[in-house]
Structure 1
Amino acid sequence: MQISDREAQAKGNYQATSVNNISLSLSRTASVSRTTGETDVQVELNLDGTGKCHADTGIPFLDHMLNQISSHGLIDLNVKATGDIEIDDHHTNEDVGITLGMALAKALGDRKGIVRFGHFVAPLDESLVQVALDFSGRPHLSYGLEIPTQRVGNYDTQLVREFFVAVVNHSQMTLHIRQLDGINSHHIIEATFKAFARAMRMAIEIDPRRASQIPSSKGVL
Protein backbone atom coordinates (compact mmCIF):
# COMPACT_ATOMS: atom_id res chain seq x y z
CA MET A 1 0.00 0.00 0.00
CA GLN A 2 1.35 3.41 -0.92
CA ILE A 3 1.92 5.72 2.03
CA SER A 4 2.25 8.91 0.02
CA ASP A 5 2.28 9.85 -3.62
CA ARG A 6 3.99 12.96 -5.01
CA GLU A 7 3.52 13.10 -8.78
CA ALA A 8 3.49 16.83 -9.34
CA GLN A 9 7.17 17.12 -10.27
CA ALA A 10 6.56 16.63 -13.98
CA LYS A 11 7.65 19.01 -16.69
CA GLY A 12 7.78 18.96 -20.47
CA ASN A 13 10.50 20.59 -22.53
CA TYR A 14 9.40 22.17 -25.80
CA GLN A 15 11.55 22.18 -28.88
CA ALA A 16 11.07 22.69 -32.60
CA THR A 17 10.64 19.58 -34.72
CA SER A 18 11.03 19.79 -38.50
CA VAL A 19 9.10 17.48 -40.82
CA ASN A 20 9.53 17.97 -44.57
CA ASN A 21 10.60 21.56 -43.84
CA ILE A 22 7.52 22.11 -41.66
CA SER A 23 8.57 23.50 -38.28
CA LEU A 24 6.39 22.29 -35.41
CA SER A 25 6.42 23.43 -31.81
CA LEU A 26 5.83 20.10 -30.09
CA SER A 27 6.54 18.72 -26.67
CA ARG A 28 8.77 15.83 -27.60
CA THR A 29 10.84 15.56 -24.42
CA ALA A 30 9.81 15.13 -20.80
CA SER A 31 11.25 14.77 -17.33
CA VAL A 32 9.07 13.21 -14.63
CA SER A 33 9.81 12.44 -10.97
CA ARG A 34 7.50 10.29 -8.87
CA THR A 35 8.05 9.55 -5.19
CA THR A 36 5.96 7.34 -2.93
CA GLY A 37 6.53 5.60 0.39
CA GLU A 38 7.80 2.62 -1.59
CA THR A 39 9.77 4.00 -4.52
CA ASP A 40 11.54 7.02 -5.97
CA VAL A 41 11.56 7.07 -9.78
CA GLN A 42 12.93 9.58 -12.29
CA VAL A 43 12.38 9.24 -16.03
CA GLU A 44 13.74 11.49 -18.78
CA LEU A 45 12.95 10.79 -22.40
CA ASN A 46 13.31 12.27 -25.86
CA LEU A 47 10.89 10.91 -28.44
CA ASP A 48 13.13 12.14 -31.26
CA GLY A 49 16.25 10.40 -30.00
CA THR A 50 18.64 7.82 -31.38
CA GLY A 51 18.09 4.97 -28.92
CA LYS A 52 20.46 5.99 -26.16
CA CYS A 53 19.50 4.45 -22.84
CA HIS A 54 20.65 4.47 -19.25
CA ALA A 55 18.46 2.36 -16.98
CA ASP A 56 19.22 1.74 -13.32
CA THR A 57 16.17 0.36 -11.53
CA GLY A 58 17.78 -2.24 -9.29
CA ILE A 59 16.03 -4.92 -11.41
CA PRO A 60 18.50 -6.12 -14.06
CA PHE A 61 15.94 -7.81 -16.31
CA LEU A 62 13.73 -4.71 -16.30
CA ASP A 63 16.78 -2.60 -17.21
CA HIS A 64 17.37 -4.96 -20.15
CA MET A 65 13.77 -4.52 -21.33
CA LEU A 66 13.93 -0.72 -20.99
CA ASN A 67 16.99 -0.84 -23.23
CA GLN A 68 14.88 -2.69 -25.83
CA ILE A 69 12.23 0.05 -25.71
CA SER A 70 14.88 2.71 -26.20
CA SER A 71 16.90 0.95 -28.87
CA HIS A 72 14.04 -0.25 -31.05
CA GLY A 73 11.80 2.75 -30.41
CA LEU A 74 14.62 5.25 -31.12
CA ILE A 75 13.75 6.97 -27.85
CA ASP A 76 16.50 8.40 -25.66
CA LEU A 77 15.66 7.16 -22.19
CA ASN A 78 17.14 7.77 -18.77
CA VAL A 79 15.54 5.86 -15.88
CA LYS A 80 16.68 5.89 -12.27
CA ALA A 81 14.70 4.08 -9.60
CA THR A 82 15.17 3.06 -6.00
CA GLY A 83 12.58 0.99 -4.21
CA ASP A 84 11.78 -1.66 -1.66
CA ILE A 85 13.23 -4.52 -3.70
CA GLU A 86 14.25 -6.19 -0.44
CA ILE A 87 10.53 -7.08 -0.25
CA ASP A 88 10.13 -7.91 -3.94
CA ASP A 89 10.32 -6.21 -7.33
CA HIS A 90 6.60 -5.48 -7.70
CA HIS A 91 6.45 -1.87 -6.48
CA THR A 92 9.53 -0.73 -8.38
CA ASN A 93 8.49 -2.52 -11.58
CA GLU A 94 5.00 -1.01 -11.46
CA ASP A 95 6.15 2.50 -10.53
CA VAL A 96 8.72 2.57 -13.33
CA GLY A 97 5.86 1.72 -15.69
CA ILE A 98 3.69 4.46 -14.18
CA THR A 99 6.41 7.09 -14.47
CA LEU A 100 7.32 6.05 -18.01
CA GLY A 101 3.65 6.32 -18.97
CA MET A 102 3.44 9.79 -17.42
CA ALA A 103 6.55 10.87 -19.33
CA LEU A 104 5.16 9.56 -22.63
CA ALA A 105 1.92 11.46 -22.07
CA LYS A 106 3.82 14.64 -21.20
CA ALA A 107 6.17 14.38 -24.19
CA LEU A 108 3.28 13.79 -26.62
CA GLY A 109 1.27 16.74 -25.32
CA ASP A 110 -1.97 17.12 -27.31
CA ARG A 111 -0.63 14.45 -29.73
CA LYS A 112 -0.91 16.85 -32.64
CA GLY A 113 0.70 15.56 -35.84
CA ILE A 114 1.48 12.01 -34.73
CA VAL A 115 0.59 8.94 -36.79
CA ARG A 116 -1.21 7.72 -33.63
CA PHE A 117 -1.50 4.01 -34.56
CA GLY A 118 1.33 1.50 -34.59
CA HIS A 119 1.76 -2.23 -35.05
CA PHE A 120 4.61 -4.71 -35.29
CA VAL A 121 5.24 -8.45 -35.25
CA ALA A 122 8.61 -9.32 -33.70
CA PRO A 123 10.30 -12.71 -33.90
CA LEU A 124 12.95 -13.87 -31.46
CA ASP A 125 14.09 -17.37 -32.36
CA GLU A 126 11.03 -19.61 -31.80
CA SER A 127 8.94 -16.79 -30.30
CA LEU A 128 6.66 -14.49 -32.26
CA VAL A 129 4.72 -11.62 -30.66
CA GLN A 130 2.29 -9.15 -32.23
CA VAL A 131 1.65 -5.69 -30.78
CA ALA A 132 -0.89 -3.12 -31.95
CA LEU A 133 -1.38 0.20 -30.17
CA ASP A 134 -3.24 3.47 -30.43
CA PHE A 135 -2.46 6.68 -28.55
CA SER A 136 -6.21 7.11 -28.31
CA GLY A 137 -6.53 8.85 -24.96
CA ARG A 138 -8.47 5.79 -23.78
CA PRO A 139 -6.38 3.40 -21.68
CA HIS A 140 -6.96 -0.27 -22.40
CA LEU A 141 -4.74 -3.36 -22.28
CA SER A 142 -5.53 -6.65 -23.96
CA TYR A 143 -2.79 -9.03 -22.84
CA GLY A 144 -2.33 -12.40 -24.50
CA LEU A 145 1.04 -13.71 -23.30
CA GLU A 146 1.38 -17.25 -21.99
CA ILE A 147 4.78 -17.27 -20.30
CA PRO A 148 5.66 -20.84 -19.32
CA THR A 149 7.89 -20.18 -16.31
CA GLN A 150 7.36 -18.15 -13.14
CA ARG A 151 10.76 -16.50 -13.35
CA VAL A 152 13.42 -15.41 -15.80
CA GLY A 153 16.49 -15.29 -13.61
CA ASN A 154 15.19 -13.47 -10.52
CA TYR A 155 12.46 -11.61 -12.40
CA ASP A 156 8.86 -12.65 -11.70
CA THR A 157 7.23 -13.01 -15.13
CA GLN A 158 3.84 -11.88 -13.72
CA LEU A 159 5.39 -8.43 -13.55
CA VAL A 160 5.42 -8.10 -17.34
CA ARG A 161 1.67 -7.57 -17.35
CA GLU A 162 1.88 -5.19 -14.37
CA PHE A 163 4.45 -3.08 -16.21
CA PHE A 164 2.27 -2.71 -19.29
CA VAL A 165 -0.86 -2.02 -17.23
CA ALA A 166 0.99 0.87 -15.60
CA VAL A 167 2.33 2.27 -18.90
CA VAL A 168 -1.07 2.01 -20.58
CA ASN A 169 -3.03 3.68 -17.79
CA HIS A 170 -0.69 6.64 -17.46
CA SER A 171 0.09 7.23 -21.15
CA GLN A 172 -3.58 6.73 -22.06
CA MET A 173 -2.91 4.31 -24.88
CA THR A 174 -4.82 1.31 -26.16
CA LEU A 175 -2.49 -1.70 -26.32
CA HIS A 176 -3.05 -5.22 -27.64
CA ILE A 177 -0.39 -7.88 -27.14
CA ARG A 178 -0.71 -11.30 -28.80
CA GLN A 179 1.68 -14.23 -28.52
CA LEU A 180 1.66 -16.09 -31.81
CA ASP A 181 4.36 -18.61 -30.90
CA GLY A 182 7.03 -19.30 -28.31
CA ILE A 183 8.15 -21.68 -25.60
CA ASN A 184 11.10 -19.83 -24.04
CA SER A 185 10.07 -17.27 -21.40
CA HIS A 186 12.98 -14.90 -22.03
CA HIS A 187 12.38 -14.96 -25.78
CA ILE A 188 8.64 -14.33 -25.42
CA ILE A 189 9.12 -11.34 -23.11
CA GLU A 190 11.93 -9.79 -25.12
CA ALA A 191 10.01 -10.19 -28.37
CA THR A 192 7.10 -8.42 -26.66
CA PHE A 193 9.19 -5.42 -25.63
CA LYS A 194 10.78 -5.19 -29.08
CA ALA A 195 7.40 -5.33 -30.81
CA PHE A 196 6.04 -2.74 -28.39
CA ALA A 197 8.98 -0.43 -29.09
CA ARG A 198 8.66 -0.74 -32.86
CA ALA A 199 4.89 -0.20 -32.76
CA MET A 200 5.34 2.85 -30.55
CA ARG A 201 8.04 4.21 -32.86
CA MET A 202 5.55 4.03 -35.73
CA ALA A 203 2.77 5.66 -33.70
CA ILE A 204 4.77 8.65 -32.43
CA GLU A 205 6.23 9.58 -35.82
CA ILE A 206 5.00 12.86 -37.26
CA ASP A 207 2.66 12.46 -40.24
CA PRO A 208 3.74 15.20 -42.69
CA ARG A 209 0.31 15.26 -44.38
CA ARG A 210 -1.37 16.47 -41.19
CA ALA A 211 1.54 17.61 -39.10
CA SER A 212 -0.40 20.47 -37.51
CA GLN A 213 -3.57 18.50 -36.82
CA ILE A 214 -4.75 16.23 -34.05
CA PRO A 215 -5.16 12.75 -35.59
CA SER A 216 -8.83 12.25 -34.80
CA SER A 217 -12.05 12.93 -36.67
CA LYS A 218 -13.30 14.43 -33.38
CA GLY A 219 -10.45 16.94 -33.34
CA VAL A 220 -9.31 15.88 -29.87
CA LEU A 221 -7.70 12.86 -28.21
Structure 2
Amino acid sequence: MSRKASIKRETAETQIELTLELDGSGKSDIQTGVGFFDHMLTLLARHALFDLTIKANGDLDVDYHHTVEDVGICLGKTLNEALGDKQGITRYGSMTIPMEETLVTTALDLSGRSWFIFKVDFPTEKVGQFDTELVREFWQAFSSNGLLNLHQVLHHGANSHHIAEGLFKGTARALRQAVSIDSRQQGVPSSKGIL
Protein backbone atom coordinates (compact mmCIF):
# COMPACT_ATOMS: atom_id res chain seq x y z
CA MET A 1 0.00 0.00 0.00
CA SER A 2 1.38 3.38 -1.00
CA ARG A 3 1.64 5.90 1.81
CA LYS A 4 1.15 8.98 -0.29
CA ALA A 5 -0.98 12.12 -0.11
CA SER A 6 -1.54 15.28 -2.10
CA ILE A 7 -3.12 18.61 -1.33
CA LYS A 8 -4.14 21.76 -3.17
CA ARG A 9 -4.64 24.83 -1.03
CA GLU A 10 -5.68 28.22 -2.29
CA THR A 11 -6.12 31.37 -0.23
CA ALA A 12 -6.05 35.05 -1.02
CA GLU A 13 -2.33 34.94 -0.14
CA THR A 14 -1.00 31.63 -1.49
CA GLN A 15 -1.68 28.85 -3.98
CA ILE A 16 0.03 25.58 -3.10
CA GLU A 17 0.16 22.10 -4.63
CA LEU A 18 2.07 19.52 -2.61
CA THR A 19 2.57 15.76 -2.93
CA LEU A 20 4.27 13.66 -0.26
CA GLU A 21 5.29 10.00 -0.45
CA LEU A 22 6.61 8.58 2.82
CA ASP A 23 8.25 5.49 1.31
CA GLY A 24 10.33 7.35 -1.22
CA SER A 25 14.00 7.74 -1.99
CA GLY A 26 14.55 11.40 -1.11
CA LYS A 27 13.64 12.88 -4.51
CA SER A 28 12.23 16.38 -4.54
CA ASP A 29 10.99 19.11 -6.83
CA ILE A 30 10.58 22.22 -4.70
CA GLN A 31 9.50 25.58 -6.12
CA THR A 32 8.31 28.10 -3.54
CA GLY A 33 10.01 31.22 -4.90
CA VAL A 34 12.05 31.42 -1.68
CA GLY A 35 15.58 30.13 -2.36
CA PHE A 36 16.69 29.39 1.19
CA PHE A 37 13.38 27.70 2.01
CA ASP A 38 13.65 25.54 -1.14
CA HIS A 39 17.11 24.49 0.05
CA MET A 40 15.79 23.50 3.50
CA LEU A 41 12.84 21.55 2.06
CA THR A 42 15.16 19.72 -0.34
CA LEU A 43 17.29 18.69 2.64
CA LEU A 44 14.15 17.59 4.50
CA ALA A 45 13.08 15.28 1.67
CA ARG A 46 16.58 13.91 1.19
CA HIS A 47 17.18 13.05 4.84
CA ALA A 48 13.67 11.75 5.55
CA LEU A 49 13.76 9.67 2.33
CA PHE A 50 10.44 11.26 1.38
CA ASP A 51 9.55 12.00 -2.22
CA LEU A 52 8.27 15.56 -2.12
CA THR A 53 6.88 17.90 -4.76
CA ILE A 54 5.90 21.46 -3.88
CA LYS A 55 4.69 24.22 -6.19
CA ALA A 56 3.87 27.39 -4.28
CA ASN A 57 2.90 30.85 -5.45
CA GLY A 58 2.64 33.35 -2.63
CA ASP A 59 2.54 37.06 -1.96
CA LEU A 60 6.31 37.35 -1.82
CA ASP A 61 6.03 41.06 -2.56
CA VAL A 62 4.64 41.40 0.99
CA ASP A 63 7.11 39.00 2.63
CA TYR A 64 7.81 35.27 2.89
CA HIS A 65 5.61 34.60 5.93
CA HIS A 66 2.42 33.37 4.26
CA THR A 67 4.27 31.12 1.83
CA VAL A 68 6.40 29.49 4.53
CA GLU A 69 3.54 29.02 6.98
CA ASP A 70 1.13 27.68 4.36
CA VAL A 71 3.66 25.17 3.06
CA GLY A 72 4.02 24.00 6.69
CA ILE A 73 0.24 23.61 6.92
CA CYS A 74 0.13 21.58 3.69
CA LEU A 75 3.08 19.38 4.61
CA GLY A 76 1.55 18.61 8.00
CA LYS A 77 -1.83 17.73 6.51
CA THR A 78 -0.31 15.43 3.88
CA LEU A 79 1.87 13.71 6.50
CA ASN A 80 -1.18 12.94 8.61
CA GLU A 81 -3.15 11.70 5.60
CA ALA A 82 -0.29 9.57 4.24
CA LEU A 83 0.10 7.86 7.63
CA GLY A 84 -3.47 6.56 7.38
CA ASP A 85 -4.46 4.50 10.43
CA LYS A 86 -0.79 4.34 11.53
CA GLN A 87 -0.77 0.55 11.69
CA GLY A 88 2.74 -0.77 12.32
CA ILE A 89 4.57 2.56 12.48
CA THR A 90 7.48 3.12 14.85
CA ARG A 91 5.68 6.30 16.05
CA TYR A 92 8.57 7.99 17.87
CA GLY A 93 11.71 9.49 16.39
CA SER A 94 14.61 11.55 17.68
CA MET A 95 17.91 12.79 16.32
CA THR A 96 20.76 14.97 17.44
CA ILE A 97 22.56 16.54 14.51
CA PRO A 98 25.94 18.29 14.47
CA MET A 99 26.26 20.94 11.78
CA GLU A 100 29.74 22.45 12.00
CA GLU A 101 29.71 24.45 15.28
CA THR A 102 25.98 23.80 15.79
CA LEU A 103 24.29 20.97 17.70
CA VAL A 104 20.50 20.51 17.61
CA THR A 105 18.10 17.83 18.83
CA THR A 106 14.66 16.99 17.49
CA ALA A 107 12.28 14.57 19.20
CA LEU A 108 8.80 13.77 17.93
CA ASP A 109 5.76 11.58 18.47
CA LEU A 110 3.18 10.88 15.77
CA SER A 111 0.54 10.78 18.47
CA GLY A 112 -2.41 12.40 16.74
CA ARG A 113 -2.07 15.32 19.15
CA SER A 114 -0.19 18.50 18.35
CA TRP A 115 2.32 20.04 20.73
CA PHE A 116 5.25 22.21 19.79
CA ILE A 117 8.31 23.23 21.81
CA PHE A 118 10.98 25.38 20.15
CA LYS A 119 14.01 26.19 22.27
CA VAL A 120 16.08 27.82 19.56
CA ASP A 121 17.51 31.33 19.34
CA PHE A 122 19.02 32.53 16.08
CA PRO A 123 22.00 34.91 16.35
CA THR A 124 20.82 36.88 13.30
CA GLU A 125 17.40 38.01 12.06
CA LYS A 126 18.07 36.89 8.50
CA VAL A 127 19.89 34.35 6.39
CA GLY A 128 20.25 36.25 3.15
CA GLN A 129 16.73 37.60 2.55
CA PHE A 130 15.06 34.88 4.66
CA ASP A 131 13.73 35.86 8.10
CA THR A 132 15.01 33.33 10.64
CA GLU A 133 11.83 33.69 12.71
CA LEU A 134 10.03 31.89 9.86
CA VAL A 135 11.79 28.64 10.76
CA ARG A 136 9.68 28.54 13.92
CA GLU A 137 6.53 29.50 12.00
CA PHE A 138 7.06 26.63 9.55
CA TRP A 139 7.54 23.96 12.22
CA GLN A 140 4.64 25.32 14.30
CA ALA A 141 2.31 25.05 11.30
CA PHE A 142 3.67 21.60 10.43
CA SER A 143 3.21 20.15 13.93
CA SER A 144 -0.27 21.67 14.37
CA ASN A 145 -1.54 20.30 11.08
CA GLY A 146 0.41 17.04 11.18
CA LEU A 147 -0.98 16.32 14.66
CA LEU A 148 2.35 15.44 16.22
CA ASN A 149 4.40 16.36 19.26
CA LEU A 150 7.51 18.17 18.04
CA HIS A 151 10.34 19.33 20.28
CA GLN A 152 13.34 21.15 18.81
CA VAL A 153 16.29 22.23 20.96
CA LEU A 154 19.46 24.13 20.08
CA HIS A 155 22.34 23.07 22.35
CA HIS A 156 24.83 25.51 20.85
CA GLY A 157 25.54 27.26 17.57
CA ALA A 158 26.77 30.56 16.18
CA ASN A 159 25.72 30.47 12.50
CA SER A 160 22.05 30.95 11.64
CA HIS A 161 22.30 28.98 8.38
CA HIS A 162 23.81 26.02 10.24
CA ILE A 163 21.15 26.18 12.95
CA ALA A 164 18.30 26.15 10.42
CA GLU A 165 19.94 23.37 8.43
CA GLY A 166 20.49 21.30 11.57
CA LEU A 167 16.81 21.66 12.46
CA PHE A 168 15.62 20.56 9.03
CA LYS A 169 18.05 17.65 8.76
CA GLY A 170 17.48 16.50 12.33
CA THR A 171 13.69 16.65 12.05
CA ALA A 172 13.88 14.81 8.73
CA ARG A 173 15.89 12.01 10.31
CA ALA A 174 13.49 11.83 13.27
CA LEU A 175 10.53 11.64 10.87
CA ARG A 176 12.27 8.91 8.89
CA GLN A 177 12.45 6.84 12.09
CA ALA A 178 8.92 7.59 13.26
CA VAL A 179 7.10 6.80 9.99
CA SER A 180 9.06 3.60 9.37
CA ILE A 181 7.21 0.31 9.64
CA ASP A 182 8.31 -1.92 12.51
CA SER A 183 7.85 -5.57 11.48
CA ARG A 184 7.39 -6.55 15.14
CA GLN A 185 4.65 -3.98 15.76
CA GLN A 186 1.19 -5.50 15.61
CA GLY A 187 -1.44 -2.86 14.92
CA VAL A 188 -1.18 0.67 16.26
CA PRO A 189 1.69 1.44 18.70
CA SER A 190 -0.56 2.63 21.53
CA SER A 191 -2.17 0.99 24.54
CA LYS A 192 -5.34 2.91 23.58
CA GLY A 193 -5.53 0.99 20.29
CA ILE A 194 -5.80 4.21 18.29
CA LEU A 195 -3.59 7.18 17.41
TM-score, scaled relative to structure 1: 0.87
Alignment correspondent of 1:20: none
Q: Distance in 2 between matches of 1:105 and 1:152?
A: 30
- SS of residue matched to 1:209: coil
Alignment correspondent of 1:74: 49
Q: Distance in 2 between matches of 1:41 and 1:110?
A: 25
- How do 1:1-16 and structure 2 match up within 5 A? 15=1
Kindly state the Cα deviation for residue 112 of structure 1 after the two structures are TM-superposed: 1.2
Alignment correspondent of 1:202: 177
1:214 maps to 2:193: no
Kindly state the Cα deviation for residue 32 of structure 1 after the two structures are TM-superposed: 0.8
Q: Distance in 1 between matches of 2:13 and 2:4?
A: 26
1:57 maps to 2:24: no
Q: 1:124 aligns with which of 95, 99, 109?
A: 99
User: Match for 2:167: what amino acid?
Assistant: T
Alignment correspondent of 1:154: 129
User: Match for 2:176: what amino acid?
Assistant: R
Kindly state the Cα deviation for residue 111 of structure 1 after the two structures are TM-superposed: 1.1
Aligned length: 195
Q: Distance in 1 between matches of 2:10 and 2:89?
A: 30
1:143-175 deviations in Å (ceiling 9; x for gaps): 011101000000000100000010001100000
Q: Distance in 2 between matches of 1:62 and 1:69?
A: 10
User: Match for 2:192: what amino acid?
Assistant: K
1:135 maps to 2:127: no
Kindly state the Cα deviation for residue 45 of structure 1 after the two structures are TM-superposed: 1.1
Q: Distance in 1 between matches of 2:181 and 2:87?
A: 8
Instruction: Supply the RMSD in Å over aligned alpha carbons.
Output: 0.7
Q: Distance in 2 between matches of 1:125 and 1:38?
A: 36
User: Match for 1:149: what amino acid?
Assistant: T
Q: Which ranges in structure 2 are unaligned for 5 or more consecutive residues?
A: none
Aligned structure 1 segments of 4 or more residues deviating by more than 6 angstroms? none
Q: 2:22 aligns with which of 38, 44, 47?
A: 47
1:94-142 deviations in Å (ceiling 9; x for gaps): 0000001011011001111100000000011000000000001110100
1:20-72 deviations in Å (ceiling 9; x for gaps): xxxxxxx5101111111110011101100000011000111110010111000
Q: How many percent of aligned residue pairs carry the same amino acid?
A: 49
Q: 1:83 aligns with which of 26, 41, 58?
A: 58
Kindly state the Cα deviation for residue 81 of structure 1 after the two structures are TM-superposed: 0.2
Q: Distance in 2 between matches of 1:28 and 1:125?
A: 34
